[in-house]
Amino acid sequence: MKNTISTFSLVIILIYTSCSQIEENNDPIIGIWNDKTISEANKSDENLTHEWTFNDAYLGRYHQYKNNVLDYKTDFRWTEDNGVYTITYPGTNLPDNIVSMVGTLSGDMLEFTDGNLLAIRE
């Protein structure tokens, strides 16, 4: 009987200590962003568009479309520091993107530090 109570107590303690609260991430960058509107304005023979899907685990998926056909996809990581977001693409030759979020009357945009647009919220 003592052994059963000890075992039960140990199981309860292990269950209680192994449970942890997952921090909720409400960052406004979470969602789908693309440069479709920007690409359409640049009218070229080869229509390239890009799409970034940011999730709450500081990860995401990047897609590149050529003439509306999926051409390339990879995962990315993102961090935020005082309103500046760094997007990295581990295992690829893609350069890091350092952007900030800008809100306008026409919607939210991700803007490079030099003022050029990266993407618009979908």
What is the C-alpha separation between 20 and 23, in angstroms, rounded? 9
Q: Which domains does the chain have, with CATH numbers?
A: 26-121 (2.40.128)
Would you write out the chain's pLDDT as a tens digit for each of its 122 residues? Answer: 566 776 777 666 666 666 666 678 889 999 999 998 665 666 666 788 999 999 999 999 999 999 889 999 999 999 999 999 999 999 999 999 999 999 877 789 999 999 999 999 98
pTM of the prediction? 0.76
Give every CB contact of residue 76 below 8 A, 6+ residues apart in sequence: 52, 59, 60, 61, 62, 87, 88, 89, 90
